[in-house]
Amino acid sequence: MRRLLAAVLLTAILSPVALAQAPIKVGILTELSGPLGPSGSGQRDGFLLYLKKNDNRLGGRPVQLVIEDTAGDPQVAITKAKKLAESDKVDVLVGPLLSANGAAVKNYLVSQHMPTVLEATVDEVTDGKYIFRTSFSGNADSYLQGYLPGHAGYRKALLVAPNFNAGQTAIDYFEKGFVAAGGTVVQKLMPRLGTPDFGAVISQFSDKADVGIIFMAGGDAIRFMKTFADYGSKLPLYGFTATVDETLLPAQGKAALGFSGAGFYFSTIDSPANRQFVADYREAYKQNPAWFSAGGYIAGQVLGAALTTTNGKSDDRDALVAAMKAVRLTTPAGSFRFDANNNPIQPRYVMQIREVDSKIQPVVLGMIPEFMPLAEPPALPAQLVLPH
């Protein structure tokens, strides 16, 4: 209902190659409405931007798109996945962002041998064969967000994450990481998803804590940061950068200043590939890309590179996923390849939200060049100075 769900046909440009090759059918199945609608739409837009920059082709073949909305509902996600695979007969799929939806469609897609690139971050979603991820692993990145403030010298942390499965994972791995870096956790708070008023949560903050490690998303993230600023607390905040992602910053404003954390993508990453990507994205959509948009663009790069390897052939699914697994890319987020579980190995950028030229933005302080998606102490570069 929120978005037209009709199939979108990108007409193939008539050329000798196009005449020679039938279009490849690509399904996009993600969250286009509901609480994660803005994020899923960004993922789709990132993917569409890749197509636009490549003559609507993947590996030389013209692309025929079928776009479906999960509406953030696993039941809908599985129904739409079946429709895409069995009735539309798509060759490859760009899959959901919401972890619950990724988990819901995983087994079905594997049974269909459907080459899938998705962004859901819960670890179990990738299968090491057909399901690939272009975002990050929830466990490993939660661990990293816990490890960083401990490494920076904070000793007593309070942890805040929403009360659902991904929030519980975040709390568990924040703690593991923080403890591994020598700290102790003094308080864990898990407000409900969609908490209308964070006043009660923030007034519970323990005086003993010297740092807060936070995971919030969407509307909750805005209310949380704003309320935190209203109460005039001076507690330094670390955590998942989704809490202050670039679609939320305009609403959070100065309340987001000082928040630190690590993520795989920010629009402020200084590289030629990213400058080009940001310029193209801004031209097409009039806003900065956030991590989920970059993930959608990278999904395009993965499929494009793999189909180039197979000379555009997608019938042999095993050959196609083998080619996907072998891709080596330079993306807007840096160097990119997959590990044995189809998790991306790509850099992590440590950032702090700061005001530069009267613009509130993530300022990249340093980079972990090759972040292995594992929940263990990361190899931090010696010159990295963390906010303290």
Partner 1 sequence: MSFWLINALNGLSFAMVLFVLSAGLTLVFGLLRIINMAHGSFYLLGGYIALSVIQASDHFMLGMASACVAVMLLGAAMQRWTLARLHKQELPQSLLTLGFLFMFADLAFWIWGGNPQLVPKPAVLEGAIRFAGIAYPAYRLALIGIGVLVAVLLWALLEGTRIGAVVRAGMDDEEMVRAMGINIPLVFTAVFAFGAGLAAMGGVLGGPLLGLFPGADFEVAMLAFVVVTVGGLGSIRGAFIASLLVGLADNFGTAWFPQLSLFTAIIPMVIVLALRPSGLMGRA
Q: Is 197 in the site for partner 1 (CB under 8 A)?
A: yes
Contacting partner 1 (CB under 8 A), which of 9, 200, 279, 379?
Answer: 200
Q: Which is nearer to partner 1, 205 or 264 (CB)?
A: 205
What is the total count of residues that contact partner 1 (CB under 8 A)? 37
Closest separation in Å from C-beta 174 to partner 1 = 16
Cross-strand partners of 367:
349
Contacting partner 1 (CB under 8 A), which of 29, 105, 222, 294?
Answer: 222
Q: Which stretch binds partner 1 (CB under 8 A): 119-127, 168-176, 186-194, 322-330?
A: 186-194
If one counts every other C-beta atom within 10 angstroms of the C-beta of residue 174, the result is 30
Q: Is 194 in the site for partner 1 (CB under 8 A)?
A: yes
Containing 199, the helix (H) or strand (E) segment is helix 199-202
Q: Is 376 in the site for partner 1 (CB under 8 A)?
A: no
Q: Which is nearer to partner 1, 282 or 337 (CB)?
A: 282
Largest CA distance in the chain: 70
d(CA 106, CA 288): 30
**Taking Cα atoms as reference points, which of 45, 67, 66, 60 lies closest to residue 13?**
60
Amino acid at 196: P
Q: Is 43 in the site for partner 1 (CB under 8 A)?
A: no
Site residues for partner 1, 312-371, by CB under 8 A, read none
Q: Is 282 in the site for partner 1 (CB under 8 A)?
A: no
Q: Is 182 in the site for partner 1 (CB under 8 A)?
A: no
If one counts every other C-beta atom within 10 angstroms of the C-beta of residue 17, the result is 15
Q: Which stretch binds partner 1 (CB under 8 A): 121-129, 168-176, 185-193, 354-362?
A: 185-193
Q: Is 4 in the site for partner 1 (CB under 8 A)?
A: no
Site residues for partner 1, 44-63, by CB under 8 A, read none
* HSE-CB for 309 with a 13 A CA cutoff: 18
d(CA 241, CA 59): 33
d(CA 350, CA 385): 9
Closest separation in Å from C-beta 333 to partner 1 = 22
Q: Which stretch binds partner 1 (CB under 8 A): 117-125, 133-141, 220-228, 347-355?
A: 220-228
Q: Which is nearer to partner 1, 192 or 388 (CB)?
A: 192
Distance of CA 315 to the CA centre of its chain: 29
Q: Is 263 in the site for partner 1 (CB under 8 A)?
A: no
Question: Which residues are CB-contacts of 272 (< 8 A; sequence separation ≥ 6)?
Answer: none
Q: Is 161 in the site for partner 1 (CB under 8 A)?
A: no
Q: Which stretch binds partner 1 (CB under 8 A): 46-54, 139-147, 195-203, 298-306?
A: 195-203
Contacts 24+ apart (CB under 8 A), 285-291: 285/45, 285/49, 287/246, 287/247, 288/246, 289/42, 289/46, 289/246, 289/265, 289/332, 290/39, 290/42, 290/245, 290/246, 290/247, 290/265, 291/135, 291/241, 291/242, 291/245, 291/263, 291/264, 291/265, 291/266
22 phi-psi bin (left φ>0, alpha ψ -120 to 50, beta other):
beta
Closest separation in Å from C-beta 310 to partner 1 = 36
Q: Which stretch binds partner 1 (CB under 8 A): 193-201, 311-319, 323-331, 351-359?
A: 193-201
Containing 366, the helix (H) or strand (E) segment is strand 359-371
d(CA 289, CA 7): 24
Q: Which is nearer to partner 1, 92 or 98 (CB)?
A: 98
Contact pattern from residue 227 through residue 256 relative to partner 1, giving x for each residue in contact according to CB under 8 A and a dash for the rest: x--xxx--------------xx-xxx----
Contact 90, 63 (CB under 8 A): no
Binding-site ranges for partner 1 (CB under 8 A): 1-2, 33-35, 37-38, 41, 163, 189-192, 194-197, 199-201, 203-204, 218-219, 221-223, 226-227, 230-232, 247-248, 250-252
